[in-house]
Chains A and B, each alone.
Chain A
C-alpha cells in the first residue's frame, strides 16, 4: 500500500502524542496479512477462544462459522485490536493490531445513533480522521477519496443526505464505504447479514467480492454455511478452539461439522450428496445445506 508522507512536521510533541502512529505501522512485505498464533482470548477468567492459529494472505476472504458462543465475535475483536489476547499473538502484516490504522471493524450489533446530524459523506470521512491528522480539516484529496468510496458502494447520489434515512442494507454498504475511505486493508465483519433480506444479502456479498479485487483481506463471521461455501476462499470452523480451517470443500464435511455442531446437526442424504441441517436453536442461523 502507499503510505502518504507524514504531514505532521510541526507540533511534533502534541501531535505525535495524539496520534501514536500517525500513518500506522509500515507493513512487512514478507509477512502474512493476518497471522494468528496460539491465540487465547475472552473476558475475565473464561476465555471464549482457546489456542486458535491460522494464517491468511492479502486479499483472501475468510468466513468464520460455528455455533452460538463459539467465540466468533471475540476472535474478530482481538484481531481488530479492541481486545487484548490472554495468550498467544495476533500479527497483521507483521505488526500487532494496535499499531495499525488499516483495520476496519464493523460490529455485530449496530449501536450507533442514526439520528446523529451528519451526512453520508461526513460518516465516510470519519474513516480518514487519523490520516488527516490533529488540527487538520479534510483536503481535496480526502473529499475525493470519500466520494469515490461512496461511488464504489453505489451511495454517491445520497452523499449529502442525512444518515437517518438509510435502510439496513444501505447502512452495511456505508460501513464498507467508510472502510474503503479509511484505506483499510483488513475488514472484519461481525454477522453483517443478520436482519437483512435475501436480496440485500447478495448486494452486500457482491460488494465484498469486489473488495477481493482490491487486495483487501476480509474476515466475516456468519451463520449461513451455504454463503460461507460459495463466497469465501477459506472457512474457519470455530467452537472455542479450531474445529477446522481450510478451503470450504475440506471444512464443510460431515465429520468436521458433526464435531462442531454436535447433536444440533442432522445429516440427511439428498440427491446431490448430503444435505446438512443444523438446528437454529443451537446456532441461531437459518437452516442451510452444504
Chain B
C-alpha cells in the first residue's frame, strides 16, 4: 500500500503535478464558494472560455515553447474580460445572462478560429481545453504560488465586505459600501483563479473545479468559514486522489480530478438527504 502511494512520487513531474493540483484545488474551492453563493456559476464558466483567444494569440506570437508569453496573454485577457463582464452586469438595460452568453461564445469561437490557423492545431487545443497537469514546470508552480497567495490574501482582507455584497446588496448600499468595487474585485479574483488553473483542469472542466468542492462543502457545513475550510480540504483531496487514479489507470488528469470531486459531492448529497429524511421521520 505504502509503495503504491510512494511509487508515483519518484517522478519529478508527478510531484510538481501533485503540488499544482493541491494548490489549484484549494484556490478554486475558496473562490468557488463565492461563485456558488452569489449564483454566478455562469460567469465563472464564461470567464474560463473567454480566455481562449488570449491563449491563442500568445500561442501564435510566441510558439508552444514560451510558456510565459502564454500565461501573460491569458492573464491579460481574463482580467479584461472580467472587468467587461462586471460592467455588463452593472447595466440593467438588457438581460445580463444573455449578454454574457454572447460575449462568452464569441470569445470562445474567436479563440478556436485563431488556433485553427495553425497546422495540427487539435493537439494544442486539447491541452488548452482539458489541461495537462503533468506538464507543469517549476516556474509554473512559482507563478501559482505568487498569484494564488495574492488571491487568497485579498479574499481574506476584504472578507466581510465580499460576504456582505454577496448576501445583501441593499444593506451594502444603505451602509454606503462601494458595492461596485467589490463586484469588480470578485470578478478579477475569479479571472486570476481561472488562469492559474488552466494547466491543471483546462478551460472545459474549470467550472467543475470552481463549483463542485464548494457546493459539497455548502451541503456539509452551516457557516461560511467552515464551508471555506471543508471546500479547501475537498479540493486538495480531489487533486491528490485524482492524480493517483490518473497515474495508475491512465485516465486524463483533469478529468480524473473533476470526477473525484463529483464523487465527493454525490456522497455528501446522499449523506445529507439521508440525514434530512432521518430528521423528518424523527420529527413526525
Chain A interface residues toward B at CB < 8 A? 17-21, 80-82, 98-101, 103-105, 107, 112-113, 116-119, 122, 126-127, 129-130, 132, 134-135, 137, 162, 178, 182
Contacts and interface: CB of A to CB of B under 8 A. Distances in A.
Interface stretch (B53-61, B99-107, B162-170, B198-206): B162-170
Contacts of B167: 112-113, 116, 118, 126
Nearest to A21: B176
B16 interface: no
Given A82-B173, A98-B176, A126-B164, 15 more contacts: A17-B178, A18-B178, A18-B181, A20-B178, A81-B173, A117-B226, A118-B223, A126-B160, A126-B163, A126-B168, A127-B171, A129-B161, A129-B172, A132-B160, A162-B223
A58 to B, nearest CB: 19
Interface of B: 37, 39, 157-158, 160-161, 163-164, 167-168, 170-178, 181, 218, 221-224, 226-227
B175 A117 contact: no
Contacts of A100: 176
A135 B170 contact: no
A19 B37 CA distance: 25
Nearest to A77: B170
Contacts of B163: 118, 126
Contacts of A99: 176
Given A82-B170, A117-B218, A118-B224, A129 B176 contact: no
Nearest to A103: B174
A102 to B, nearest CB: 10
B212 to A, nearest CB: 17
B43 to A, nearest CB: 17
B157 A116 contact: no
B221 to A, nearest CB: 6
Contact of A182 (B158, B175, B223): B175
A135 B156 CA distance: 9
Contacts of A17: 178
Nearest to A126: B164
A20 B181 CA distance: 13
A117 B222 contact: yes
B173 to A, nearest CB: 6
A18 B161 CA distance: 10
A107 B160 contact: no
B175 A130 contact: yes
Contacts of A19: 176-177
A103 B158 CA distance: 23
B269 to A, nearest CB: 15
A80 B172 CA distance: 12
Given A112-B168, A116-B167, A117-B227, A105 B174 contact: yes
A84 to B, nearest CB: 12
Nearest to A115: B218
Contacts of A105: 170-171, 174
A128 to B, nearest CB: 9
A116 B167 CA distance: 7
Residue of A99, A103, A116, A182 with most chain B CB atoms under a 10 A cut-off: A116
Contacts of A112: 167-168
Contacts of A20: 176, 178
A81 B224 contact: no
